[in-house]
């Protein structure tokens, strides 16, 4: 299914978020067979946006998470957009990922890091599981977006994480791109 048909089928919120995620996905120029991990499945918007670009994605969230942000029936949306065959789900803890060192070309964490208890551990684990030259792409809502989220959806929504300090130990390269809704932090593990 093409992207505009999927946006119409999945509704206004998906469409808006997709328009924030998709230009960054394009700019990353990932190889078609890239090994991609999406941390914090939620509604599946990140995984579906990647799959609509024909990438295979492994995605997962914390099995014990009973919050309003988890278990959001991403599969139904993926099926609607006819991309469910490109998405594999496995539950895992982002703070202690069950993956070998250097398993992925890129890790995405979209709108999820501020919901994970230990964001530094999650970043450290992301650094561990990417290959040399691999990337980590973290979308965190900007100041205005947090205001909108609190006003329209979740009154007690947590603050976004500022990732500029996370790099002190690992010293990956960091580029920050702005979208209407997100700050996208793109780290690269350079030897
Ligand atoms: C708002 S949702 C993310 C939205 C999602 N990325 C999307 O594109 O639709 C937050 C997610 O973080 C997950 N999460 C929270 N703590 C976690 C942890 N320790 N490990 C893995 N996922 C976690 C939640 O279960 C939930 O899936």
- The three state secondary structure string of the chain is CCHHHHHHHHCHHHHHHHHHHHHHHHHHCCCCCCCEEEECCCCCHHHHHHHCCCCCEEEECCCCCCCCCCCCCHHHHHHHCCCHHHEEECCCECCECCCCCCCEEEEEEECCHHHCCCHHHHHHHHHHHEEEEEEEEEEEECHHHHHHHHHHCCCCCCCCCCHHHCCCCCCCEEEEEECCCEEEEEEECCC
- Check if 41 has its Cβ closer than 6 Å to any atom of ligand 1: yes
Provide the pLDDT for residue 66: 81
- Check if 141 has its Cβ closer than 6 Å to any atom of ligand 1: no
Instruction: Report the CATH number that the domain containing residue 80 is assigned in CATH.
Output: 3.40.50.150
pLDDT at residue 136 greater than cutoff 90: yes
pLDDT at residue 163 greater than cutoff 90: no
Out of 112, 116, 119, mutate this one to test ligand 1's pocket (max ligand atoms within 8 Å of CB): namely 112
- Check if 125 has its Cβ closer than 6 Å to any atom of ligand 1: no
Provide the pLDDT for residue 95: 98
Q: Mean pLDDT across the chain, nearest whole number?
A: 94
pLDDT at residue 82 greater than cutoff 90: yes
Out of 92, 115, 145, mutate this one to test ligand 1's pocket (max ligand atoms within 8 Å of CB): namely 115
- Check if 57 has its Cβ closer than 6 Å to any atom of ligand 1: no
Mean pLDDT of 72-93: 96
Provide the pLDDT for residue 183: 95
- Check if 37 has its Cβ closer than 6 Å to any atom of ligand 1: no
Ligand 1 geometric centre to CA of 112 (Å): 5
Provide the pLDDT for residue 67: 82
How do residues 37-77 score in pLDDT, each as one tens digit?
A: 999 999 999 999 999 999 999 999 999 888 878 888 999 99
Ligand 1 geometric centre to CA of 69 (Å): 7
- Give percent of the chain with pLDDT exceeding 70: 100
Provide the pLDDT for residue 43: 95
Domain of residue 174 covers 3-92+100-188
- Check if 149 has its Cβ closer than 6 Å to any atom of ligand 1: no
Instruction: Give the residue among 174, 64, 182, 188 at the shortest CA–CA distance from 126.
Output: 188
Ligand 1 geometric centre to CA of 41 (Å): 5
As for how many domains the chain has, the answer is 1
Mean pLDDT of 111-124: 95
- Check if 121 has its Cβ closer than 6 Å to any atom of ligand 1: no
Residue 91: pLDDT band (50, 70, 90) is very high
């Amino acid at each position: 299914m093409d992207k505009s048909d999927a946006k119409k089928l999945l509704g206004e919120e998906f469409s808006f978020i997709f328009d924030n995620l998709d230009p960054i996905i394009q700019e990353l120029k990932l190889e078609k067979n890239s090994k991609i991990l999406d941390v914090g499945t939620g509604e599946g918007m990140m995984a579906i946006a990647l799959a609509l670009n024909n990438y295979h994605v492994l995605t997962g969230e914390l099995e014990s998470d009973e919050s309003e942000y988890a278990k959001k029936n991403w599969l139904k949306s993926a099926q609607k957009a006819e991309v469910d065959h490109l998405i594999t789900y496995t539950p895992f803890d982002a703070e202690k990922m069950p993956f070998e060192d250097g398993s992925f070309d890129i890790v995405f964490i979209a709108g999820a890091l501020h919901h994970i208890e230990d964001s530094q551990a999650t970043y450290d684990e992301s650094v561990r599981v990417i290959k040399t030259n691999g990337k980590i792409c973290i979308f965190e809502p900007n100041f205005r977006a947090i205001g909108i989220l609190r006003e329209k959806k979740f009154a007690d929504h947590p603050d976004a994480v500022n990732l500029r300090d996370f790099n002190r130990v690992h010293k990956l390269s960091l580029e920050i791109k702005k979208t209407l809704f997100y700050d996208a932090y793109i780290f690269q593990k350079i030897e």
